[in-house]
Structure 1
Amino acid sequence: MDIRTAELLFLLLLLFIIAFGQLARKIGTPYPIVMIIGGLLLGFIPGIPRIALNPDLIFLVVLPPLLYSSAWATSWRDFRSNLVSIFLLAFGLVGFTVVGVALFTPKFFAGFDWRLGLVLGAIVAPTDAIAATSIAKKVGLPGRIVDILEGESLINDATGLLALEFAIALVVSGSVPTVSGSLLTLAWLVVGGAGIGLLVGWIIAFGERHIDDGPIEIALSILVPYAAYFAADAVHSSGVLAVVACGLFLTRKSARLFSPPVRIQIYSFWQSFTFVLNGLVFLLIGLQLPILLSSIRGYSISKILLDGALFSLVLIVLRMAWVFPGAWISNWLRNRFSQQKEKAPSPRQVFIVGWTGMRGVVSLAAALSLPTLLADGRAFPERDLIVFLTFCVILVTLVLQGVTLTPLVRMLGMEGSGGPNCEEQEARRQVITAALTHLETARLEDGGKSDEIYEDIIGHYRHRLAGLQPGEENPEHADHHQFFIEISREAESIERETAVRLRNEGRINDQVLRRIERELDLNESRFSNAEED
């Protein structure tokens, strides 16, 4: 493929990402679902080039920044609080799925033995780090469920890929890893990966203290996940866990590392960057169907589609069979050893956790990365069928479960069950109260020299605080705060129009206009956040 063709393909993919992203927003559907369905439809349009998904592109180019972005958006406090639940899913459920698939496949799929079952189980065991959480947040699930799903999908890639490595060794060379060797390898993957990630994070945090430049820090933030991933991979540890550990470490430090302007630039960049990467991979997943169908030999279309549906159902049942006793064990361990005295999750909550086991691009990349030949030169048995079954699992779990999640949540009465974010409200009250206390003290120390300035600033803070208070005592304060926002927006609109008019008249240049617009945009963002409260 020459450079012009590659450029055209990239531009077409970017155009489709934009179109499907806007469609997802219009119809209120999580964009991973729309992207994969759109890719499916595009794949059967005559003339659309077939783009084979390269597993190296996923593991070495796409996965590190996506994992880093997800880890960056994860709260360490919530991750640590739900660590028992996360580990039971990321390690226990992965192992349960691998064994369950190994027992199931020989009985229902001709040509499969337990070793191929282990391979297939390891491929489809990890959940997608993006799909499940983006869909869960879109439908308004309780925060704790989202935290558990996010933590699970961040870690189980490493355990699934480790299980796949052992399973491939069984099939290709016939070697059986020892229990002690497997445990040592797992320990090195976890400890080594997390340790390298923390080391990279510490180095970056040290360097960030001496940098305060948006473009440079954005470039550095792109480098970080690749540095952590490749450093861990170079010593045969888990690059996935290295990226996750590095992201969790740096997100704790970010409040001190970045100046406000740089933080705004970095967050804006990563929001767009991850959207494009996610859109690209989900679109490419959908485009793989015609390629996979053409590679299947000796099977009728109806037969392999039925097999794919049956296998997807088995995976859903396996996850459900684990999450209910797993939730009870997790709650017992938390109450017994962690002094986290919490009520056991309701059956409705556990069911939702079980239903949101979406698979994604890591599973498909793992399937495509299977070797084509065994050690003796024979073809890897049932490789094409394994890839196709993996694709079916992704399609069913992502589209079917994703589309049905919203009505299911409503039917179970869990929509918006998290209620208002009281923690955020209280935090806002405390920070504004602290600022008011400081201003009052400073005004007294000033001795009345700048009373008008202090009174103006203090008045703004009091109005903001009033907008956060319950309405029983002084309901007029909340109305006053809302009126203050409306008047301020009207005034800013006049400022904006005047600045544009001055630019159009040639009295200021575009650089001056953009600086004025940036200040107005930041104020508008603050008012929008205040209204959401």
Structure 2
Amino acid sequence: MSSFVIVVAVAISNIIARYIHGISSTYINLIVGIIVGLIPFTNHLVLEFNDKIFMIFILAPLLFFEGQATPLMAVGKRTKSIVNTAVLLAAISAIIAAFVVHQFFNLMLPLALVIVAISTPTDATAFDSVVTGRKFSNSLGNTLKMESLFNDATGIILLQAAITWLTTGYLSFWASTGDFLFSAIGGIILGAGLAFAVVSFRQYFVRSSYNVISSQTLIYVLTPFCIYLLAEMLGVSGIIAVVTAGLVHNSEANRSRFSSPRQMHLGIQLINFVGEVLNSFVFVVLGISLVRIFANQYNTIMGSIKWLATGVLVYVLLWGCRYIYARLWVGDKKRQTASLFALGGVHGTVTLAMTFSISNQVSQYWFSFIVVVETVVIILSMLVPTIVFKFMLPIDVDEQNRPAQLEQLRHGMVEVGIKQIKTMDLSSVVRASVIYDLRDQIQKNTLGSFFKQWGAVTANKSVLTGLQSVEQRRALMQAFDAERDYLYDLAKRHVVNSDVVYEIYSEILLSESLVLDPRNQMI
């Protein structure tokens, strides 16, 4: 029931987001989650946040898909940058921030380190939400995304060390460093080894006559869950293991995409669908959790503003450490670049999951305090760059004009396709059917005309004969050829951006595959 309510909220929020321009869908997901949390009936249907379930069923596949979308070669080229940002920057900034928080608020140093360690991981999805509609340096954006892929493990290891220090009163630097190296390197080795074994197994069947697409897809879907669980059982980083496994699968996809096109196409669509749903799922859950946090911690919130001051200080300190790092070590040492890098360290659901993971390891008072502090850090890290980027970054005009450009191109190609049909010697029934199908490419058929067509098909009044079906298929093929020629000519003359042309061109190919595919049982 919890999943059902959240998935319905995801569907509704993503529809609403289509009607609201200029605001990232992430914020709409967050707002709908808050509304679900505020309504007693829907809030009651959703179970309490469980960090283990969240890490296994939401975060593991998300990180796996993000890793698969990242070329392994790109990671190799950025190894030094990844180590610097995801390990050294994360660790040093956590130590500095923890010491300052300890001094300012007279908190125990281990407790301050717990708070800062939880705030260490950054979130690539949350980062995308704050730069929506703005032009952001590709190089800097890639650096931030690479950092977010790997710094979760650093935050978790720091948190484990801080909890040990807090509960035992003893902290061993070398033991913690050894644990980190074992966890990280072990995660890389395990993730790469298991992924290579899975890839080899799947590729053996892909290149044989025994391949079963449904079984292959199930194995693929289960891969991140199995790797994460096994890594955690063996005491290495499950996060790094699934990211590494995703990187290995990227190379597989690049070199086997034509071995089984249906399987590859299904896999790509599955990644896109599940990734979009899970990203939205994450922020709906975050919205619900924020409502519950403020409701459950009302006394803590109203009793003192120390939590607010601590959250603000932690965010400012982490921002400052990132800014100084960028000025000293990033290749482009301009102030604006450093500010963008610092603001790009957006925190999200990993921080939330880590917060709830310590519920049984600290006292109830300190857990309540940590929860509201981390809530402040998450909100500030999303809100501040969203506002500041509107002044620092130019509007992405190409992205802003893209919908209108796509619509114009679609209208032009459909006109060409219909013109081609009108020159052909076709029966009136076939011509009307084909023109109706072509007009569907630009949603020009009204709801009334759809129900008229649907009624005729249902009543068996417009079913084509065998010869007419062949005639229809050939007519559509010629119309699609004309549309592709139109788009190809525009691309060749550089009238529009190639990626816009490719998007529509691929839609035509998909439409044609529906007509020609002998396995298609819907036509």
Does TM, scored on the shorter chain, surpass 0.5? yes
Q: Please indicate the TM-score interval, normalised by the length of the shorter structure.
A: 0.7 to 0.9
**Deviates most, 62-71 or 269-278:** 269-278
Task: Determine the C-alpha separation between the residues in 2 that align with 1:296 and 1:498.
Answer: 57
Aligned-partner residue type, residue 311 of structure 2: F
Range that drifts further, 314-323 or 358-367: 314-323
1:407 corresponds, among 378, 381, 390, to 390
Quick one: distance in 1 between partners of 2:105 and 2:228? 36
Q: Cα offset for 1:173?
A: 2.4
- Once the two structures are superposed, the pairs formed by residues 114-193 of structure 1 within 5 Å of their partners are 114-136=109-131, 138-177=133-172, 179-193=173-187
Q: Write the distance in 1 (CA, Å) between the matches of 2:50 and 2:484.
A: 40
1:223 aligned partner? 222
Task: Return the alpha-carbon distance in structure 1 between the equivalents of residues 465 and 312 of structure 2.
Answer: 62
Aligned to 1:395: 379
Equivalence for 1:20: 13
Deviations 1:335-354 (CA, angstroms, capped at 9, x unpaired): xxxxxxxxx35332221121
Answer yes or no: is 1:44 the counterpart of 2:38.
Answer: yes
Tell me how far 1:48 sits from its aligned partner.
3.5
Distance 1:56 1:516, change over 3 A: farther
> Are 1:10 and 2:11 counterparts?
no
For 2:484 and 2:91, the matched residues in 1 are separated by 46
- 1:181 positional shift: 2.1
CA drift of 1:272 comes to: 1.5
Partner of 1:244: 243
One-letter amino acid of the structure 2 residue matched with residue 23 of structure 1: I
Equivalent residue in structure 1 for 2:416, among 466, 487, 490: 487
Q: Is the 8 A contact 2:10 2:29 kept in 1?
A: yes
Give the Cα–Cα distance (whole angstroms) in 1 for the partners of residues 395 and 7 of structure 2. 36
Which runs of 5 or more residues in structure 2 are unaligned?
Answer: 400-408, 422-431, 439-449, 488-497, 504-523
- Pair 1:386 & 2:380 matched: no
* CA shift for structure 1 position 238: 0.8
> Are residues 360 and 498 of structure 1, via their aligned partners in 2, closer, same or farther at CA, if it must alter by over 3 Å?
closer
Q: Aligned residue for 1:497?
A: 436
| Residue 453 (structure 1) aligns with | none
CA distances 1:433-488 after superposition (whole Å, capped 9, x unpaired): xxxxxxxxxxxxxxxxxxxxxxxxxxxxxxxxxxxxxxxxxxxxxxx9x9778624
CA distance in 2, matches of 1:352, 1:130: 16
Q: Cα distance, 1:402 vs. partner?
A: 4.9
Local SS of the residue matching 2:123: coil
Aligned-pair CA distance for 1:64: 0.7
Partner of 1:292: 293
Q: Deviations over 1:403-447 (max 9, x none)?
A: 32541343xx485799xxxxxxxxxxxxxxxxxxxxxxxxxxxxx
TM-score (norm 1): 0.72
Q: Which moved more, 1:350-359 or 1:216-225?
A: 216-225
Please tell me whether the aligned partners of residues 358 and 401 of structure 1 are also in contact (alpha carbons under 8 angstroms). no
State yes or no: 1:198 paired with 2:192: yes
**Size of the alignment, in residue pairs?**
439
Q: Equivalent residue of 1:299, what SS?
A: helix
For the 8 Å contact 2:190–2:231, the answer to whether it is kept is yes
In the alignment, what sits opposite 1:277? 278
CA distance in structure 2 between the aligned counterparts of 1:123 and 1:197, rounded to whole angstroms: 24
Match of 2:347 in 1: 359
Contact 1:97/1:315 (CA < 8 Å) preserved in 2? no
Deviation at 1:57, TM superposition (A): 1.4
CA deviation after TM superposition for structure 1 residue 389, in Å: 1.0
- Per-residue deviation at 1:169? 0.7
* Partner of residue 308, structure 1: 308
Q: What SS does structure 2 have at the residue aligned with 1:350?
A: helix
Spell out the pairing of 1:452-491 with structure 2 (5 A cutoff): 487-488=416-417
Contact 1:78 1:147 in 2 (8 A): no
Q: 1:152: Cα distance to partner?
A: 0.5
Please name the residue that 1:29 is paired with. Answer: 23
Task: Please tell me whether the aligned partners of residues 190 and 237 of structure 1 are also in contact (alpha carbons under 8 angstroms).
Answer: yes
Name the structure 2 match of 1:507.
Answer: 464
In 2, distance between residues paired with 1:405 and 1:65?
32
Q: Within the alignment, does 1:72 sit opposite 2:72 as a pair?
A: no
Q: Distance in 1 between matches of 2:463 and 2:412?
A: 35
1:328 matched to 2:328:
yes
Gaps in structure 1 of 5+ consecutive residues: 1-5, 332-343, 419-479
| CA distance, structure 1, for counterparts of residue 240 and residue 133 of structure 2 | 26
Which deviates the most, 82-91 or 352-361? 82-91
For residue 459 of structure 1, what is the aligned residue in structure 2? none
Identity, in percent, stands at 21
Does structure 1 residue 531 correspond to structure 2 residue 501? yes
Secondary structure at the counterpart of residue 219 of structure 1: helix
Any conservation in 2 of the 1:91–1:159 contact (CA below 8 Å)?
yes
Letter in 2 for 1:349: T
Which of 334, 354, 357 matches 1:346? 334
Quick one: distance in 1 between partners of 2:155 and 2:231?
Answer: 17
* Aligned counterpart, 2:264: 263
Question: What is the CA deviation profile of residues 302-332 of structure 1, one whole-angstrom value per residue up to 9, with x for unaligned ones?
Answer: 844x73365235424432333343453243x
**Residue of structure 1 in register with 2:89 after alignment:** 93
For residue 20 of structure 1, report the CA deviation from its aligned partner.
Answer: 1.5
SS in 2 for 1:257: coil
- Aligned amino acid, residue 238 of structure 1: S
Aligned counterparts of 1:312 and 1:508: Cα–Cα separation in 2: 72
